[in-house]
Structure 1
Amino acid sequence: SIPLTVRGTGILIEGSMVVAAEAPADGRIGDLLAKPGDRVEQGQVLAVVANPLLEAQRIDAQNAAARLREQDANMTAAEDVASAAFTASMNVRDSECRRRIDRAAAIALDFSKAVEVKRDLVRQGLLAESELLTIANATLEIERSLSDARSELLRIQADRTEASIRRQQDRQRRENGISDADALVGQLAARMSAERNVIAPRPGKLVQLTRSPGDVVHKGNTVAIISDAGDGRLRCYAFFPLTEGKRVQKDMHAHVEPSIADRERFGVISSVVRDVEPVVGTRDSFLRIMNSPEVAQDIERRYGGTVSAVIDLEVDAASPTGLRWTGGVGYPKQLTPGTLCDVDVVTEDVAPISLLVPWLKQAFGGR
């Protein structure tokens, strides 16, 4: 029989699944806090993304808040001086007004008594009514002066209240401005914290760091690749052309040819399809796994859409790689995650005649 195969491109991974740790925001890679081969926990910080623009905004906001506090302190000090002067002036006016009220009230009382006495004298015919009228008019004038003084006292109290309210409102406005500035600083700090750390999305083994300190990244860019590394075995993550790749199924036999191992000298690794991804692969998924724009572009150019699969590599403890090769013991050195491979999956074994008949029909005009 003749095997019919589907060829794809793959990469060696440790474990059966790989995930990407992505940049949370635009910025520049600062510190790398883990290295390839490290075991990492879910939520662990793998790298730090510096955002100079956001940091500048936070510093500007802090400086603005500091300026507002300084202005508030200066204005409060000036207000305290002005308030003390205003209070002293109001106290003088208040004291003078109360003295006027006391004097006017005393005089008004005396004149009121005098009016009653003179009214009796007028009734007795001992005093002319004109004199009673004169003292009565004087009494009214004194009472008017008393009323004016009391009104002035009320105005003084109103001025005190208005000045106090205005001072409180001015201070409250400044405090609100400071609170808003502090809130902005807090928001920017929280945003920096949230957008600063590249987090491991799941526990596993750090296979590869795709960025270096100083590299510019955009939100969603892959910074690190993590495998589940559950059993520590090497596997191949492979991409196949969409049309042919639809024929790839679980448990099909496959041959994996690492790029560093010459096929004619060492053969290929005997393998079996472990899982087939149900989602069509895109350039982003290529980049997430391959971390090579050139390879990803080449796959996209050659394949368009893809089907991806995880390939189990058969084990052979007697070989240097610990894997079963078709050419004796195979490659003499250990293979490492990140090695690119060519992958052939055997989708069908057919008899030679079944391939020859269609050719004969075509060659002889379909007869």
Structure 2
Amino acid sequence: MLNDAERIPQEQKMESAAAQIYAIQAGLELGKKRGKKLMFAKSAMAVLTAAVMVAGLLFFNPTQLLPQQGTSSVETEDWGVLEPFKKLAAADIDALTLESAIRNDYVQIVNKSAESNGYKITLNAVLADENKIMLLYTGTTSGGQEIYNVNSVWLTDAVTGQSVVDKNGSRSGMGLHAEDSIYTWLGKTIYPLDKNKAFSKEVVANFQIASVDPGMLAKPKTGTNLADMRYSDRLKINFTIDSKFWEQKTETIVLNQPFMIDGQEVKLAEVELSPLSIVVIYTLSEELKTDWDVRNKIFGNTPNELISRVGKHEVENKSNGGSGSEDGFISYFSSNVLDHPKSIRLKLDAGTDREKDEYIDILKK
């Protein structure tokens, strides 16, 4: 579906974000019947962000793409050449990860550009670890064309031309206009990686920019008609990935700590700590693994907050996605592992299972 969604619009009409969410829900029902692995987004916002970015943001006003989440206060320190991306981070539920990476110089500045016929893309920076790679980029237009978005981002091996990520991997992304400019777009795209596979050293980032004619961006129905859209040629940037990203390995902490969700026992099986993500893995009993109604209810109430202590300060690591697995669930959290937290705890909210908030220690130094 992702490959189809990125075709040039003349080849195939793209679905609306709402239709894609409906399709995902329908897929869940099919998964229940087949008893296969359950894969779904942690929240409507997570689904919408990924679907909108991949499908080219058609049928969605880009000025409404990123409401303030209020989940992270962007650091006031100087971000250097990445200073424009503070605006993007301010609207990003995963801002903590980017802030921590920049603060710890865990960034590869690329600043290479490609342009054609009035469209220009600049790959500003790359961040990566064993589990994901993140691209930060800027799209610009000239000749009066107003940027709608960067509607397509591919990542391929420079030698073989093959995708460097799993074809079935669910990329995610977000973007918004630069300060006071409808001709500049700041974007972020994340690709999941398989840490058991070697990553290509020479990579090509391949972009396409979508725009509209002068004055069209402000019109409320812009984006609902494919004929209104203009598209750049594919804009390609070659770069060599910095080897420093593979030096810090993922730390796996095995816990097997039981706790209750809606009267059902769930185990916090293990946690994976890496520079760009914290992954929390839950397992269910054999009986609950195939009880889809109960599984769905439990998944909707899995803990969505980690508390980490850095120095004398406590930091909230918010959940930014989730999925089902054969044995239970997986939740993904923003990461500040590079800040060397003294402790990390999973917060269990008060409710039917407990009278007050409780915590499970994941890391304690």
TM-score range, shorter chain: under 0.3
Larger strand proportion, structure 1 or 2? 2
More helix by share: 1
The higher-RCO structure (CA 8 Å, 6+ apart) is 1
Q: TM (normalized to structure 1)? A: 0.22
- Quick check: which has more Rg, 1 or 2? 1
TM-score when normalising by structure 2: 0.22
